[in-house]
């Protein structure tokens, strides 16, 4: 009998157990990679522009304010819609603006200590998965996405806005 076969035939239970554990580890790694690539499981969507308002409510809890706060300006952005606190300290406010239950526009206001980079990075988390920037003009960065073009507006004063660009036609 060749040496390699004698090695595997000595303790078959140990080798079978090692193979099963190895396959289980590979399966677990693949599952974790799929969750990272998708951004969330189907059971737990992430709040993003283009998602249902109910996803925001499931993530942040009961809204702080319903309706609009017309005329309230932060930087050069008019803030209206459904207001949520995105953190326990109530320093990050997300104003989701739904149309027919779908959030098409949102404004984020963070703590006054936020830098421009922190504000933009936080707003980028609301972009649809797979969004790709294709143009920046002043404070506006445009993205191609699976739901159409999206724009991120760096409004200043620790505030940014993410909205789906309306289609013409």
Q: Which residues are CB-contacts of 127 (< 8 A; sequence separation ≥ 6)?
A: 48, 49, 143, 145, 150, 152, 162
The tally of domains found in the chain comes to 2
| Helix %, strand %, coil % of the chain (to 5) | 30, 30, 40
Co-location of 136 and 60 in the same domain: yes
| Structural domain range at position 72 | 53-164
**Within a domain: residue 47?**
no
- Position 78 scores a pLDDT of 56
Q: Please indicate, yes or no, whether residues 34 and 62 belong to a single structural domain of this protein.
A: no
- 91 lies in the same domain as 139: yes
110 and 154 inside one domain = yes
Q: Residues 27, 63: one domain?
A: no
Same domain for 82 and 160, yes or no, is yes
| Tens of pLDDT, residues 2-38 | 554 455 455 555 554 444 444 444 343 333 333 333 3
For residues 64 and 47, the model is more confident at 47
The answer to whether position 169 is within a domain reads no
Residues 135 and 84 in one domain: yes
57, part of any domain: yes
Residue 44 lies in a domain: no
* Residues 91, 158 share a domain: yes
The answer on 59 and 27 residing in a single domain is: no
46 domain residue, yes or no: no
Does residue 71 fall inside a structural domain? yes
What confidence tier does 167 reach under pLDDT thresholds 50, 70, 90?
confident
pLDDT mean over 40-59:
82
Which range among 12-21, 30-39, 69-78, 118-127 shows the weakest confidence by mean pLDDT? 30-39
User: pTM here?
Assistant: 0.68
pLDDT tens for each residue of 83-110: 999 999 999 999 999 989 999 999 999 9
Question: pLDDT, tens digit, for every residue of 130-140?
Answer: 999 999 999 99
Query: Are residues 65 and 138 part of one domain?
Result: yes
Strand order in the sheet with 93-99: 82-85, 93-99, 102-109, 159-164, 150-156, 140-144, 132-137
Q: Which of 12-21, 78-87, 154-163 has the highest mean pLDDT?
A: 154-163
């Amino acid at each position: 009998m060749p040496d390699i076969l004698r090695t595997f035939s000595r303790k078959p239970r140990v080798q079978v157990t090692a193979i099963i554990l190895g396959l289980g580890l590979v399966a677990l790694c693949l599952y974790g990679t799929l969750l990272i690539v998708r951004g969330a499981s189907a059971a737990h969507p992430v709040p993003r522009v283009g998602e249902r308002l109910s996803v925001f409510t499931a993530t942040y809890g009961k809204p702080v304010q319903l309706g609009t706060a017309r005329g309230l300006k932060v930087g050069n952005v008019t803030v209206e819609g459904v207001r949520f606190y995105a953190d326990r300290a109530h320093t990050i406010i997300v104003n989701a603006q739904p149309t027919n239950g779908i959030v098409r526009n949102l404004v984020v206001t963070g703590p006054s200590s936020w830098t421009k980079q922190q504000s933009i990075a936080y707003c980028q988390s609301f972009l649809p998965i797979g969004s790709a920037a294709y143009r920046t003009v002043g404070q506006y960065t445009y993205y191609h996405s699976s739901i159409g073009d999206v724009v991120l507006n760096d409004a200043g004063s620790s505030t940014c806005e993410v909205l789906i660009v309306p289609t013409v036609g």
